[in-house]
Structure 1
């Protein structure tokens, strides 16, 4: 989070958590870059893409869980609250956690773009910064606007050093510590 944003945050993290705790289940709230963000509910193609990824992870790394809709403490000093579409971590990693988990032990965060006006700022700009600042080793962005996967890796000083993109249909190797190779051919079935 930039100092100017921190100084002009809409509310404190504690105030956000109180609001998010009382929000109805049909509303997904995040606190990103000092502002309250309403995240769109997933449509059918979004859900199918997530399940495709769950299957790939379970087949190749059964000792890990890809947890959907996990709240994580992101950004510098864990001042942001992101509700990742999914996070990859060792089985039983989140046992005993509350709604918002520290990112230590999380191997990968996943976002699948939504059909809303905020997806560009949220998924392509704010989330790579927030997840890199929180030292999540890999951020996988499945982008439905241009039918690509972008693999962000090697976080250093709040920035991912690597971020190659691949078209749907390509074979995509996710770097360590994830160590999964994705056959993305099926994603073409869910393209715009």
Structure 2
């Protein structure tokens, strides 16, 4: 009999700590580190979030699993912003409703999961804000107002204009600086 998914997930994480290991719809997904373009975009997003997060005493983590519930998937966003004392499921997993913002930079292999699968899992877990940067589409999507199985609001901005992050951020980001 096969080991439960959670057990296989932990084993793969331990065997490959240099990779991003996620579970999605009953499958284990292992992603390599991003390309230089992916990481450059990520750095620029991080630069825009860093000062406001530090001012508020928050932390930004680049490689932490988000716990979405006992029977739910496990995702590792590119960036996770947490308050001073987030709630943990395990030492490698923070509860989704204990985050302040999750950020993903879409890559060619993650487009469907990032655009469709993850928002449908983050909302029921109480993730307040999910920011999705898609270089191929040259758009930024902000999912906010989690309401059960879906987010109540989805804001789409072009990659050259402002994007407002609602509470607790109350911050306008200049997405043009990300490219």
Aligned to 1:104: 97
Q: If the length of structure 1 is used for normalisation, what is the TM-score?
A: 0.81
Q: How far apart are residue 97 of structure 1 and its match? A: 5.1
Q: 1:141 to 1:93 in 2, by over 3 A?
A: same
Query: 141-150 vs 88-97, which deviates more?
Result: 88-97
What's the CA shift string for 1:77-133, capped at 9, x where partnerless?
4521101111111245478951122223201111101132xx122101111111112
Residue 118 of structure 2 corresponds to residue 127 of structure 1:
yes
What is the root-mean-square deviation of aligned Cα atoms in Å?
2.3
C-alpha contact (below 8 Å) 1:31/1:37 kept by paired residues: yes
Aligned to 1:72: 66
Q: If the length of structure 2 is used for normalisation, what is the TM-score?
A: 0.87
**Distance across 2 between alignment mates of 1:161 and 1:51:** 29
Q: How far apart are residue 156 of structure 1 and its match? A: 0.6
Residue 128 of structure 2 corresponds to residue 137 of structure 1:
yes
Aligned to 2:53: 61
Residue 21 of structure 2 corresponds to residue 50 of structure 1:
no
Q: How far apart are residue 57 of structure 1 and its match? A: 1.5
Q: How many equivalent pairs are there?
A: 176
Residue 164 of structure 2 corresponds to residue 170 of structure 1:
no
Aligned to 1:4: none
Q: How far apart are residue 46 of structure 1 and its match? A: 1.4
Residue 102 of structure 2 corresponds to residue 115 of structure 1:
no
C-alpha contact (below 8 Å) 2:24/2:74 kept by paired residues: yes
Aligned to 2:16: 24
Unaligned runs of 5+ residues in structure 1 are 1-9
- Say which SS state the counterpart of residue 40 (structure 2) adopts: helix
Unaligned runs of 5+ residues in structure 2 are none
Q: How far apart are residue 185 of structure 1 and its match? A: 1.3
